[in-house]
Copies of this chain bind each other. A is one copy, B any other.
Amino acid sequence: MDVSIGGAARASGVKVPTIRYYEQIGLLPVPQRTQANRRLYAPQELRRLRFIRHARELGFEVEAIRTLLALQDRPDHSCEEADRLAREHLEQVERRIASLSALRRELMHMVEGCSHGRVAQCRVIETLDDHSLCAHHGESE
Task: Name A's B-contacting residues (CB within 8 A).
Answer: 47, 50-51, 54-55, 57-59, 68, 71-72, 74-80, 82-83, 85-87, 89-90, 93-94, 96-97, 100-101, 103-104, 106-108, 110-111, 114, 116-122, 124-125, 128-129, 131, 134, 141
Contacts and interface: CB of A to CB of B under 8 A. Distances in A.
A51 B128 CA distance: 6
Contacts of A50: 129, 131
A78 to B, nearest CB: 7
Nearest to A129: B51
Given A100-B93, A100-B97, A119 B58 contact: no
Count of chain copies: 2
